[in-house]
Structure 1
């Protein structure tokens, strides 16, 4: 994918890291995750209860991480990164207060860390 082209803002997950994100698993913003889930292949709330391994690519360092995306349940689910998050967090030197932005690349079926200059698509305004 050409990351010089504008990115779809509906496929971006943004999270300011809290102490609990850095100490344990990273909780993800529900509305943003639900938007991304619509474009993920074969991922449902049901199989997220057991966890789904996803790839996260850091283009700047050319590192590829595998993390488990999970949910706490079907009724009012909370989404989080579990297994693999600790390795990724330490490798990216993430701390409390840092903002992590991830882009779901549907063509490559993986997240991309947005730690580089990028543009987002502007909404179409009817004339």
Structure 2
């Protein structure tokens, strides 16, 4: 008889949470550049980004950000993603986007990379 291995599956009834990066916004995130959590970005985003984007981060690359909001509204924006002084930063339009969307200090933002559409999805999780 063949040796059977036991599988340990973790099942839950809670909703799937796609946001691999979550961040509570600081004043500088809202009014300047959005600095992404380095460890989470390198762990969850870098491995799934196209290699050409990763290779050009030091120069800055234009990326699409798809904003997912409550209801049926969604919008696309083009921002610059750059690695600067060891930090991953969204700039080049981020502060305008944050102002348009009404983001405030201590709001929670969720982010993920969608490899099928080659863009980031961003969601305003919690508003204070």
* TM-score relative to the length of structure 1: 0.73
**Root-mean-square deviation over aligned CA pairs:** 2.0
How do 1:18-97 and structure 2 match up within 5 A? 18-34=26-42, 35-41=44-50, 42-44=52-54, 46-60=55-69, 61-73=73-85, 77-97=86-106
Q: How many equivalent pairs are there?
A: 106
Write the distance in 1 (CA, Å) between the matches of 2:110 and 2:34. Answer: 13
> Relative to total residues, which structure has the larger strand share, 1 or 2?
2
Structure 1, unpaired ranges of 5+: 117-127
The structure whose RCO (Cα within 8 Å, separation 6+) is larger is 1
Conserved? CA contact 2:80–2:92, under 8 Å: yes
* TM-score relative to the length of structure 2: 0.73
Conserved? CA contact 1:103–1:114, under 8 Å: no
